[in-house]
């Protein structure tokens, strides 16, 4: 999993049928110090994160697991909203 | 998934037989402000995207998770045509630079 921040939303009516009714969000990947880490990506959000919230997300074909479909062309999905992060020493 | 724009088509007659019938489009990656990036991919089209359209594509083994591409040698698939995107959390650095 990786950290990210939801920075916006995206709408697409014409899409692969398994993606119907799935919310997709714009996400800025973050390092552990919450600095930006590369380019923004689009993720499926089954958790309901709001804009600005720090989340953690999964990539690759596991991203379809949070969705209640057996097959969907999805390579990134939010799996949790972060309450707090504590780093002892890095 | 990654934001992109379809910029062309690839035709191929001599190819892996599992790819027969698949439509290949060339997609150029876009920034969220729709400015083009220097990253291109040949992706199988699963939603009927046309040249010029802004799309989303999935990469890696996720690209095989469609009825069209299941068990096929495919690692990129166009799975949505974008209507609209809205960036609600502005980029602080850009804002500072803009002031």
pLDDT tens by residue, A51-66: 999 999 999 999 999 9
Domain ranges for chain B: 2-97
β-strand pairing of A54-59 with A14-15: unpaired
CA A78 to the chain's CA centroid: 3
Burial class (CB in 10 A: 0-12, 13-18, 19+), A81: middle
Q: Which residues of A touch B3 (CB under 8 A)?
A: 10, 42
Contact B1 A64 (CB under 8 A): no
A42 vs B: CB within 8 A: yes
pLDDT above 80: residue A22 = yes
Helices (H), chain B: 92-98
Look at residue B94 in the predicted model and tell me its pLDDT.
Answer: 60
- Specify the pLDDT at position B53: 98
When pLDDT is averaged across residues A55-81 and rounded to a whole number, the result is: 95
Chain B residues near residue A6 by CB distance under 8 angstroms: 89
- Whole-angstrom CA distances from B48 to A9, B16, B19, B51 are 23, 22, 17, 10
State whether A12 and B1 contact (CB < 8 Å). Answer: no
Q: What is the Cα–Cα distance from A10 to A69, expressed in whole angstroms? A: 21
pLDDT of residue B93: 59
* Minimum Cα–Cα distance from A5: chain B residue: B89
Tens digit of pLDDT per residue, chain B (99 long)?
A: 999 999 999 999 999 999 999 999 999 999 999 999 999 999 999 999 999 999 999 999 999 999 999 999 999 999 999 999 999 997 765 655 555
Rounded to an integer, what distance in angstroms lies between the CA atom of residue A11 and that of residue A13? 7
Do A14 and B48 lie within an 8 Å CB cutoff?
Answer: yes
Range B2-97: architecture per CATH:
Beta Barrel (2.40)
């Amino acid at each position: 999993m990786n950290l990210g921040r939801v920075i916006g939303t995206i709408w697409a009516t014409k899409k692969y049928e398994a993606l119907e009714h799935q919310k997709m969000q714009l996400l800025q990947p973050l390092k552990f110090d919450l600095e930006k880490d590369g380019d923004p990506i689009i993720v499926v959000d089954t958790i309901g994160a709001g804009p600005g919230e720090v989340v953690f997300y999964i990539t690759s074909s596991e991203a379809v697991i949070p969705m209640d479909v057996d097959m969907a062309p999805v390579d990134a999905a939010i799996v949790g909203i972060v309450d707090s992060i504590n780093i002892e020493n890095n | 998934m990654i934001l992109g724009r379809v910029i062309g088509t690839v035709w191929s007659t001599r190819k892996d037989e599992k790819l027969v019938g698949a439509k290949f489009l060339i997609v150029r990656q876009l920034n969220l402000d729709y400015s083009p990036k220097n990253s291109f991919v040949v992706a199988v089209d699963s939603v009927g995207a046309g040249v010029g359209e802004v799309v989303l594509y999935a990469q890696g083994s996720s690209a095989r998770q469609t009825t069209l591409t299941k068990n096929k040698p495919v690692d990129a698939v166009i799975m949505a045509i974008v209507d609209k995107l809205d960036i609600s959390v502005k980029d602080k650095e850009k804002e500072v630079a803009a002031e």
